[in-house]
């Protein structure tokens, strides 16, 4: 879906080369129709396109904004997904909710989407740990994913997404799984009130239950010190991501978030 947005941009600027994708310049794109077949990216409801930039050994969001003209959101496309993709993408959607809710750019509108959407996500989360997947639950998970996309359209994502791209680029860890490693740490760094609120909305009594649930789904992070240091330093230099965090970020804090991923 993200590639479609990039292609729609480039087809509309035939005279430009690929470097244009990374230039901050207002430009029209062809209308894009998106049909999500996983329950994670929410790209059908966002203007974002995340592409791999090999020269920088990272994945990053294009500076352009391409809102899909239409999105066909139908849960039946999830029915035959491999279990691991269902799980990883549902964890991605959860990351979008948590990073949008705990975000310096959060508004009443984005928080409303998160509060409603986290409840929807939570109502189907048992299928991720082995409960039977029904067509209704497919619809529920996909609806949650689209709502999460709408939420991040308002706020952008935050530290877990920023950190995750290093794991995905260097170790090929699927996106949602890589985001999920950093969610307990990001939640732990937030204030106690907002943490309690989020845990309540997604149906966990405390951090321990939440961490255990995620650990059960995605296991521990496999990253050496060099990669963690590169990710931490990359985020400390990433003003766009730091701007989205509603508290002051220090290197020590980022290492703590990473340590909670093992």
What does the binding site for Zn ion look like in residue numbers (CB under 5 A)? 92
∠ CA 6-231-39, nearest 5°, is: 50
Question: In whole angstroms, how close is the CB of 110 to Zn ion at the nearest point?
Answer: 16
Backbone angles phi, psi at 255, to 5 degrees: -65, -35
CB atoms within 10 A of CB 62: 21
The nearest distance, CB 61 to Zn ion, in angstroms, is 10
Contact between 161 and 179 under an 8 Å Cβ cutoff? The reply is yes
In the bound state with Zn ion, the residue whose beta carbon lies nearer, of 11 and 240, is 240
Distance CA 145, CA 133 (A): 16
Rounded to a whole number of angstroms, the minimum distance from the CB of residue 115 to Zn ion is 19
Of residues 148 and 254, the one with the C-beta less far from Zn ion: 148
Query: Cβ contacts of residue 219 below 8 Å, gap of 6+?
Result: none
* Rg (the chain; Cα; Å): 18
Task: Give the nearest distance from C-beta 148 to Zn ion in angstroms.
Answer: 9
Nearest residue by C-beta to Zn ion?
A: 92
What does residue 52 show for φ and ψ, rounded to 5 degrees?
Answer: -85, 130
Report the residue number, 122 or 158, with the smaller CB distance to Zn ion. 158
Residue 205 Cα distances to 52, 195, 197, 201, 251, angstroms: 38, 11, 10, 10, 29
Least separation in angstroms between residue 43's CB and Zn ion is: 9
Q: How far is CA 99 from CA 81, 224, 244, in A?
A: 26, 25, 9
| Closer Cβ to Zn ion, 64 or 161, answer by number | 161
CB of 13 to Zn ion, least distance (A): 27
Question: Which residue number, 12 or 73, has a Cβ lying nearer to Zn ion?
Answer: 73
Nearest to Zn ion of 34, 92 (CB atom): 92
Question: CB-wise, 44 or 92, nearer to Zn ion?
Answer: 92
Give the other-Cβ count within 10 Å of 64's Cβ.
22
Q: Where are the alpha helices (DSSP H) in 40-130?
A: 83-101, 108-123
CB of 208 to Zn ion, least distance (A): 25
Query: Please, how many CA atoms are within 13 Å of residue 232, restricted to the half-sphere of its CB?
Result: 18
Tokens standing for residue 25? 């310049």
């Amino acid at each position: 879906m993200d590639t479609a947005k990039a292609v729609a941009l480039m087809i509309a600027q035939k005279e430009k080369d690929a470097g244009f994708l990374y230039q901050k310049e207002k430009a029209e794109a062809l209308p894009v129709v998106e049909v999500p077949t996983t329950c994670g990216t929410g790209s059908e409801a966002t203007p974002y396109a995340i592409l791999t930039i090999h020269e920088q050994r990272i994945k990053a969001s294009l500076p352009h904004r391409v809102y899909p003209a239409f999105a066909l959101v139908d849960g039946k496309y999830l029915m035959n997904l491999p279990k691991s993709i269902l799980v990883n993408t549902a964890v991605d959607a959860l990351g979008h909710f948590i990073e949008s809710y705990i975000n310096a750019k959060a508004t009443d509108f984005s928080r409303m989407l998160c509060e409603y959407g986290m409840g929807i996500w939570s109502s189907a989360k048992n299928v991720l740990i082995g409960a039977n997947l029904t067509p209704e639950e497919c619809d529920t998970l996909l609806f949650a994913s689209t709502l999460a996309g709408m939420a991040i359209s308002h706020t952008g994502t935050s530290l877990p997404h920023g950190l995750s791209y290093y794991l995905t680029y260097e170790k090929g860890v699927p996106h949602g799984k890589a985001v999920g490693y950093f969610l307990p740490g990001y939640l732990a760094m937030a204030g106690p009130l907002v943490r309690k609120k989020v845990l309540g909305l997604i149906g966990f009594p405390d951090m321990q239950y939440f961490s255990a649930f995620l650990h059960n789904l995605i296991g521990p992070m496999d990253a050496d010190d060099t990669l963690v240091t590169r990710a931490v330093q990359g985020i400390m230099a990433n003003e766009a991501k730091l701007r989205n965090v509603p508290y002051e970020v220090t290197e020590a804090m980022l290492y703590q978030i990473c340590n909670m991923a093992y």
